[in-house]
Each structure stands twice: as C-alpha cells, then as structure tokens.
Structure 1
Amino acid sequence: MLSPHLADFLKRLQQAEQLLRVEAEVSADLEIAEITRRVAASAGRALLFDNVCERTGAVATGLLASERRVCLALGADSLDAAADQIATHLAASDLPAPRVAATPACQQVIELGRDIDLVSLPLLRTTPDNAQAALGGAWLTTADPETSDPGTLDPATVQTALTPCDALVQDRRALIITWCDRDPLAAHFRAAQRRGGRLPVAIFFGGPPALALLASPAWQLGRDVYAVVGGLADGTFEVATCRTHPLLVPAESELVIEGQLDTSDAAHEARTATLEVEMITHRTGPRLTAQVPGGPADEPAQLRRTAARLALPRLRAGHRAIRKLVCPDWAAGEVLLVAIEKRHAGEPREVAALIASDATFVRLRFLVLVDDDVDLADERQVWQRVASECRPTTDVIGSPHALGDEVPAMLAFDATRPWPEVDRAGRDRQTSVEQIRELVTARWSEYGMP
C-alpha cells in the first residue's frame, strides 16, 4: 500500500533501517546539503536533521534517493510491480474522490501578519551560487481561474494541478517562484494574467512521497492525482481546504504556505513571479522535506530514472513497438535507452515523438533507439549499435520540446537496423554465415584459389 503522508513514510524508513536521524546541530546554509551529497554518493540512508541551527522545525533529505526507498514509498516489492499498479489506477474510472477533512493536521498552527517568517523555516541553501534558501522538496497547487468557481472547489470534480515547487526565499513574507511552460502553473498563470488578477497559490510540504512520481502523468492524462493516491493507498485520500483561497492540499501535510502570485507581463516573460505570502499553517513541530542536487547519485536524478521506468506501461500503451527502456545511472536522468520491435521504417521517429511529448521526459536530452535484440544493460553493446547503424545525415532526430529556452531540445539517435533490413550495399543482412561459407566453398575453384 502506498505511503499516504510523510510521517508514515518516515516510520517505514525507520523500520527498514533506511533512515538516519542526525541530532547534532547543523546549519541550513550549505552544511546540510554537503552532508546529503556525501551520503548519497555512498548510497547511504535518508537523513532527518532534528536540530537545524536558528531554524524552527526539522528537515529530511534523500528520502527517494534509492530504488528501495522508492518502493517503500509506493508500497510495492519492485518498480516493475509499482509500474503496473500505477498504470492500472491511472486508467481506472472508479477511483475514490478525495474527502475534505474536518480538522486537518496541517492547520494545527496558523500564522498571519507579523508572525509569518519564511527565514525561520529550515529551508536549505544548497549551492554557493544561490544567495537565498530554496524550497526544493515542496509542491505548489493552483486552480484554473477560467474554469474554477472562486467561492468553492469540489474535491469530487476538480483535477488537482500540482507543480514541483522551484522557489527562493526573497524575504520574511515573499518567495520568488520559477516554472517551465509545461507545468500546470504556467497555464493557470496565463489565464489569471488574461483576467487581470492575481493567482492564488498554496505550497505544501509533507504530502505523499509518491507525488513526485504521480503528479506529472496524472495531470497529463487528465486524472486527479489525489484520487490516484487514494486508490493506491486502498482508501479515500483526505485533503484540506486552504483558509485564504479554495485550494486543496493533503490534510496530513507538514506545512502549507498560502499566498498570491503577481501576474504582470514582465514576470511572465521571465517565467518568474513573486509570491506574497498571506498565511502559513502547519502541524506542531513540522518536518520539511528538501531535495539536494549534486550529480547522478542525487535524489532528483534518481527520481527522473525511476519516473522513466514507471512510465514504461504507459508508453507501451501509446506505441506497440516499445519493449524496454533504461536510464543509465551515470546520466542523471538525461539519457534514455529504448529498445523497440521495429515493424516499419517510420517507427523510430514515432517513438521519439511520443517520448518527447510525455511530461515525464521534459528534462530528457538524449534518446537512443535500438532494436529489441540489444541488451540495454550492456552499454558497450548499445553504443556499438549506435556506431554501426546511426548515420548522422539521416538517423539523428532533433525533437525540440518547445517549452522555452530553459528546457533543452532532445536529440534522438536511431540506431535500429534499416527497414527492410538491407545493409549499405543493398544486400540481405539476414543471409547467414553458413550460407556465405557454402557459396564460397562452391565457387572456390572459380576464384583461382589453390
């Protein structure tokens, strides 16, 4: 069963000896990030820092930085089993609608006005390049201003729109929010901009850890992610209605930040806007989550690799040629190897277009397509096939995501055999070695050989 909230997941990690609690006083300014990177590089446990210097609350890092911990979050024995379960629930028509909790845990404490202080939260500065602390492990939810009733939000009919929160602390009561054009936030921001108003936003920490793997495919397929979570958790998922605006967040969230985004033209051109915080609600003693970037072993890279594997059943449903896929560990989720069963000449381009259009692969840079007789686990075999079959003039496919300058174009390398299978000289590639040997033996005297 899927882990429904952070407290449950931390308990699972503790029982599985996958969590290390750090009681020594540590700084949110670079120190926690450096500790997390070193532990991730050695495939260590998730970390919970209980004593963050001059901050209120604890912070957890590396929660989903290993395949085993991802399986614990999804309540599955393996990623393959989880992929099948997720595909089934994304396609289901009878998922239980979320239920609004009467007394949500995320609203045990309410902070308004001068009590709001983002600087006091255990938000991390992860690199020297960032002058401010970042919100790297939270989710941002919005509602479409053109279709939602500003006075109510019915959890039985709404499709929750979640965007990974990419934000920096500007001051005690303001955040700088950044997004890319495929995020739900981008569409809702433009709609609010057309209406000439501000966009209500809620940011929450501590929802179901599996949201990191479910939010994008659910949104792309038009499913409510809270309903999908409820189905995978074998029950109805409880949500809370924010107190300043009718937005829905997980009732068991650790902390919720409510506010409104400025929708000026200049802000949208930069895909950046200022969030003016109106209220913070949280549990007593909240525990925040943070993702620390830092290379192929970090949590964001692990999540991209995992999301790709979980997408396999959905991709197979979209194109019958797809058989297997692998994200190499060293590639930080930016390279994808795909084996296909090729039935006609245009299939590699069709598969490349399908993958380029999938929200799971928005950060993908390079796609390598090979025939399904190639062992994707043997990268030497993969790259040998690229060297022998991929011609730069015809077999390199440029697939821009068309999402804006901050999202790189994807290049696909078609390393499948030509169709029909003829070699560069036009001879049948399937002619067996034995047939050639028989031919040469029969004609040996014609060659003038002794």
Structure 2
Amino acid sequence: MAFPDLRSFMELLESRGELLRVDVPVSRDLEITEIADRLVKKGGPAVLFENVVGSDFPLVIGLVGTRERTALSLGVQDLDDLAAKVKALIDLKGSGGVAGLLGNVTKLRDAAHLLPRRVRSAPVQEVVWRGDEVDLDKLPVLKCWPLDGGPFVTLPLVITKDPETGERNIGMYRMQVMDKTTTGMHWQRHKTGTKHLEKAKRLGKRLEVAVAIGGDPALIYAATAPLPPIPGLDELALAGYLRGQRYPVVKGVTVDLDVPANAEFILEGYVDPAEDWAVEGPFGDHTGFYTLPDLYPRFHVTAITMRRDPVYPATIVGRPPMEDAYLIEASERLFLPAAQLIIPEITDYHMPPAGVAHNLVVVGIKKGYPGQAYKVANGLFGLGQMMFAKVIVVVDEDVKVNDFAAVWREVALKAVPGRDTLTTRGPIDVLDHSSRGWGYGGKLIIDATTKRPEEIGSAASSRDDQAGDVAQADAVGADAASGAFTPRAAAGLPTFGGVVAQRQTPDGYWLVALDKTRPGQARELAAAFAAHPAAAGVRHLLIVDEHTDVNDLQDVWWTILNNIDPERDVRQEGELLAWDGARKLPEEGFVREWPPKITMSPEVVRRVDALWHVYGLPERWR
C-alpha cells in the first residue's frame, strides 16, 4: 500500500489504534522526549501532540516506533518482504560468472526508471513565508535531551545537487536551530552533502539547499538508506520503487531544486562555503552518548513553505532501542540480496540495536573452506557504509543472527581468543567517541563458525604445536579438534578494587562494573582476573563503567561496543579475551573529552510521571 503523504499514514495508524492524540499543553523542551522514549521502549503507539507550548503546529512522533509500523509504512506486511522485492528486481538466478554478476547488478537500474514526476502546484506550497516572516522558532522543534546545545530538527530530508553534475542527493542530517533563520548542518566528512559543499567552494558559489519535513514515509526512510552507487538510483527513485509509482516533486519557490510536493514543510535557503563554520552541539545522539560540540556549516533559511494545516513530524534518538533501530533493520532486509550478489556465501546478517548500527554486525555464512569467515568479514568492510563497522561476528548458517544471546553463546563456544579473533584498522563513524583518531580506529573480526582442521592447527602444525593446542583447550574445557567449549562456574566471585558489581554467565562471560579512578585500572583488573582460579571456564571478561547494569546483557554490550577501540581495548589475557569498556583517561593517552551517557533530568521524569493520566495515555506504557 502506498501512502500519498504523511497524514494518510497517520489516519491508518489511528484507525488501527496505533496513534493516540494528546490535546493538553505539552512542552517541546524535554517533556515530549520523555513521553516518546517510554512509548518506543515499551512498543507503545505513535502520538499526535495537538497542543505544543509555544507553537501553533501539532507534532507527531513515534510513527515507525515498532517493527510492524515500519513495515506498514513501507507498504509490506513484514520487513523480510523487502528482500523479496529486491530479489525480484535483480533476478538472482541469472547467468553465472563475473558477467552474470555484473548483469544482475545492472538490473538495479530498473528502479531508476521510476523517476520523479514534476507537478505545477503542490500542497506544500499553499503557504509561503519570506523575508521577515521566516521564523524557525514558530515550528515545534524539540530540545531532546538535557545537555543538548539547543533544539534540533530530527527528521529533515536535506536536498542538494552536485554543482557540477546536477546529481541529486537527499540525506538525513540533524539540524540545530541557531536563531530564527539559521541552523547548523551536520554534514560529516563522508557524507554526500559535504562533497557537494566542497565542489561549490571550488567553484566559488553558494550551495542551494532545501529541507523537506514530512511527506511519504517511504521517502523519509529512503533518506536514511545506504544506497549503492548506481547512476540514476537516488532517494526519490527508491521511494518511487517502494511505493510503486513515480514520486511527485515541485520546483522550489526560491531555489532551483525539486522538493517533495506532499511534504508538510519545506525550508529553502543556502550554505555559503566561504563562511566560518558554527559551533554545533552537544547532541544526545543515536549512540546513546552525547556528541560533543564541533564546527559545522551554517544553513541560512530564506523561505519556508508549508501546507495550510501542517503537522510537524519528529523522532528522538538515544539509548537503544529507538525508532532508528527499525529503520536500520529495514535497510538490512532491503540490501541483503545485493550483499549476497557480491558475497554469495552470506545467508543473513543483522545489526543489533545494542551495536547502534555501526558497532556490531553479525553475519551468517554457508561455510565451505578454512578462513572463509575472514574473507567474508573483510569483504563486508569494503561495502559502502559497512566500512564503519567496528566488530563483525561470523557464525554458521544455522545460527539465528538476530538472536542476540545465541550469537554470543556461539562466540564463547567456538571462538578461541587469539586463534579465532583478528584485529585490523579502518574508517570509523565520526560519532564514535572511543576510536584512536577522529573517524579512524581499530576493528575486530570474530570467527565463531565451526572450525575446519586447518583452522585449529592440526593439519599444518608440528606435533609439539598440536600438543600445545590440546593443552590450552583442556585448560578451558575445550576440545581442540572441534573448537567446542564447556564453561565452568566459579566457586565464588573474586574481589578486586573498584568493582561495584559483577556476575558470571553460564556461557563463559564475566561481567564487571568498574568505578575507574586511575589510569590503567581496567588493565590491572584484567591481568589479575586472568591469573585468578575463577578465570578457568571464562572466555570473555567484559569490563564496563559503574553506571552499567551487569544483569542486563544489552546494556553491557551497548556500553562495551561504544567504549572500545578494538585494537587498543580488546586484549588477550592468558586464555581469555578482556574487553575494556570503561572510560578512557587523558593519562592513558586519550586526548579527546569522554562524553556522558544520555539520561533524562529527574525533574522531567517526575513531571511526566505526575501528568501521565492527564495526557490520557494508557497506564501500561507509563
């Protein structure tokens, strides 16, 4: 089912009881965030706030806050159906060999045939503000988290054209409102918007920009999707393919850009590459940590167009799970067939919410030869935005890649530290606060597949080496011939300085919350634990900060994956792998400021608790 605009999707959700209205006054300063955060984490409905303090426009949030609503927004019954649509498009049964693969890939251009259609008039241009009328403060832009540098537009569809080729790009980049006519433009170094700005600078001219807010849910998704570099395949073409019809666009009022005709608002303006950049942030980001202030370009708004009765759509990001987890899963399903074209032994892959997209990728393979797990992982590092992946875990095809606990059991059972782990380096997401350098850091491959004889040394090693392998395996309860591992429960929990909480899992993990007060403390803990009798039967020591709940596996891995550079912080200690997910100190050579985790202010939490019944929202989602 295709939705001509945002409101038609909202109407469907409301008819199904999946969108509720709140008509009492609600603040856009933190209060809406606290309500929305509770709802998305409990699988609750979307909400239309009809009375946002300080704005005449209603705000809707949580539209894709569940897997089911995300599938519905993209016109499929289930997100897995997206893969079937792409398989039909690229015809995986084509001829073999390199020529066959290239022939399949070129069939993706069929999606580009769904070019947008230009219309003469559009709902989004029913009202036009120019000059002194332009006032971003009149929009219900959210301040999401207590330490945010200001209000942020969180669902912007930022439209630019390559100044030389005219190639269009629509991306989703957060925008901090600086004043009535200016925002920041969070174009990171790897983003297409940055490339367009750099070309405009070389040509000595401004870069025209339009920002759509609202529209067909398929286009909102497409702006987040990691599109393959195929000529003619852009976000409007993808949205057209998903909706099954050409996407309507209209020429901007003051910019030479096509904008979505069915959007709710359009911000038109420019970025001047000759202008000094502005301090943007902090921002409570999708990592669950604050992104600290940095310099980014300024976007100057010269006109705002809108419908006569627009609705402002928003989202929030923060500690997972959030709405963005379902958009990420949609991209997984949509691009799985394309990944399988290039790396055919892939059976499935998943980016768990705890890994906030780029920190953890689990991939299942049909294994046929030794070393194949490393071949697949290195291949993934070369596929588009997969270059930002920090940890890749490879498992056998019979393991469900989206079963988080099962995956880590496989790691404990089949991946011997040192033998089946490999550290490398490469590009890292610039939002990663723990990497060795900005946008550059370590990566870790874990081979948790069933091992072939060649992979455990029995085929090529000398007799002495084989004996050593067996002795090491026996020490941790493993069978060197198969790589199997039997964890052993410790008689009692060891005591170490600074440890505020700890527990052992039945599958070979020791989870420790450390109140770190001095340099090197986590490494000292790892070395001491490795020498302790309790370490026998433990494959992985997971060290986290004192604010992490060791009884919550998701919370532990979310903290670990955010707080490590694998090359620096994942170390073999004897027969176990120690993951140092504690904060890093300047005395340890970490020169950047360590950001805080996102938490809501207690005052706002108490206010929302007290007003929940006033909002009219069901108690079960409180």
Shorter-chain TM-score: what band?
A: 0.7 to 0.9
Partner of residue 341 from structure 1, selected from 349, 361, 366: 366
Q: Is the 8 A contact 1:401 1:407 kept in 2?
A: yes
Q: CA deviation at 1:380?
A: 4.2
Q: Which moved more, 1:6-15 or 1:115-124?
A: 6-15
**For 1:54 and 1:265, how far apart are their aligned partners in 2?**
31
Q: CA deviation at 1:241?
A: 1.1
Letter in 2 for 1:383: W
Q: Which moved more, 1:397-406 or 1:200-209?
A: 397-406
Q: Is the 8 A contact 1:401 1:410 kept in 2?
A: no
**For 1:392 and 1:348, how far apart are their aligned partners in 2?**
15
Correspondence 1:165 to 2:173: yes
Superposed counterparts of 1:346-365, under 5 Å: 346-359=371-384, 361=386, 364-365=389-390
Partner of residue 417 from structure 2, selected from 352, 375, 391: 391
SS where residue 326 of structure 2 aligns?
helix
Q: Is the 8 A contact 2:387 2:428 kept in 1?
A: no
Could you tell me which residue of structure 2 aligns to residue 144 of structure 1? 162
For residues 66-106 of structure 1, give each alpha carbon's deviation from its aligned partner in whole angstroms, at most 9, with x where no partner exists.
11101111111111112222455581526232111111111
Correspondence 1:196 to 2:204: yes
Q: Is the 8 A contact 2:371 2:455 kept in 1?
A: no
Partner of residue 140 from structure 2, selected from 122, 130, 136: 122
What is the TM-score normalised by the length of structure 2? 0.63
| Distance of aligned partners of 1:367 and 1:82 in 2 relative to their CA distance in 1, 3 Å threshold | same
Could you tell me which residue of structure 2 aligns to residue 154 of structure 1? none
Q: Is the 8 A contact 1:13 1:72 kept in 2?
A: no
| Distance of aligned partners of 1:299 and 1:199 in 2 relative to their CA distance in 1, 3 Å threshold | same
Partner of residue 262 from structure 1, selected from 261, 266, 272: 272
What is the TM-score normalised by the length of structure 1? 0.85
| Distance of aligned partners of 1:37 and 1:241 in 2 relative to their CA distance in 1, 3 Å threshold | same
Partner of residue 234 from structure 1, selected from 239, 244, 248: 244
SS where residue 207 of structure 1 aligns?
coil
SS where residue 212 of structure 2 aligns?
strand
**For 2:215 and 2:405, how far apart are their aligned partners in 1?**
41
Letter in 2 for 1:311: F
SS where residue 83 of structure 1 aligns?
helix
For residues 350-380 of structure 1, give each alpha carbon's deviation from its aligned partner in whole angstroms, at most 9, with x where no partner exists.
4323433444546643221112233435444
Q: CA deviation at 1:142?
A: 0.3
Letter in 2 for 1:183: K
Superposed counterparts of 1:253-332, under 5 Å: 253-264=263-274, 267=277, 272-332=296-356
Q: Is the 8 A contact 1:173 1:277 kept in 2?
A: yes
SS where residue 227 of structure 2 aligns?
helix
**For 2:44 and 2:403, how far apart are their aligned partners in 1?**
26
Partner of residue 401 from structure 1, selected from 401, 410, 427: 427
Q: Is the 8 A contact 1:386 1:413 kept in 2?
A: yes
Partner of residue 110 from structure 2, selected from 93, 102, 119: 93
Q: CA deviation at 1:203?
A: 0.6
SS where residue 48 of structure 2 aligns?
strand
Correspondence 1:221 to 2:245: no
Could you tell me which residue of structure 2 aligns to residue 185 of structure 1? 193
SS where residue 220 of structure 1 aligns?
coil
Letter in 2 for 1:220: P
Unmatched 5+ stretches in structure 1 = 149-158, 432-450
| Distance of aligned partners of 1:87 and 1:258 in 2 relative to their CA distance in 1, 3 Å threshold | farther
Q: Is the 8 A contact 1:325 1:338 kept in 2?
A: yes
Q: Is the 8 A contact 2:420 2:448 kept in 1?
A: no
| Distance of aligned partners of 1:167 and 1:228 in 2 relative to their CA distance in 1, 3 Å threshold | same
Could you tell me which residue of structure 2 aligns to residue 250 of structure 1? 260
| Distance of aligned partners of 1:316 and 1:206 in 2 relative to their CA distance in 1, 3 Å threshold | same
Could you tell me which residue of structure 2 aligns to residue 75 of structure 1? 75
SS where residue 310 of structure 1 aligns?
helix
Letter in 2 for 1:411: L
| Distance of aligned partners of 1:194 and 1:394 in 2 relative to their CA distance in 1, 3 Å threshold | farther
Could you tell me which residue of structure 2 aligns to residue 442 of structure 1? none
| Distance of aligned partners of 1:296 and 1:408 in 2 relative to their CA distance in 1, 3 Å threshold | farther
Could you tell me which residue of structure 1 aligns to residue 500 of structure 2? none
**For 1:409 and 1:23, how far apart are their aligned partners in 2?**
49
Q: Identity across aligned pairs (percent)?
A: 29
**For 1:316 and 1:371, how far apart are their aligned partners in 2?**
15
Letter in 2 for 1:287: V
Q: Is the 8 A contact 1:65 1:303 kept in 2?
A: no
Letter in 2 for 1:374: V
Q: Is the 8 A contact 1:104 1:240 kept in 2?
A: yes
SS where residue 71 of structure 2 aligns?
helix
Q: Is the 8 A contact 1:26 1:53 kept in 2?
A: yes
Q: CA deviation at 1:410?
A: 4.5
Q: Is the 8 A contact 2:222 2:236 kept in 1?
A: no
SS where residue 182 of structure 1 aligns?
coil
Could you tell me which residue of structure 1 aligns to residue 15 of structure 2? 15
For residues 422-448 of structure 1, give each alpha carbon's deviation from its aligned partner in whole angstroms, at most 9, with x where no partner exists.
5344489579xxxxxxxxxxxxxxxxx
Give aligned pairs, total.
421
Letter in 1 for 2:179: D
SS where residue 284 of structure 1 aligns?
coil
Could you tell me which residue of structure 1 aligns to residue 39 of structure 2? 39
Could you tell me which residue of structure 1 aligns to residue 448 of structure 2? 415
**For 1:17 and 1:365, how far apart are their aligned partners in 2?**
39
**For 1:326 and 1:202, how far apart are their aligned partners in 2?**
33
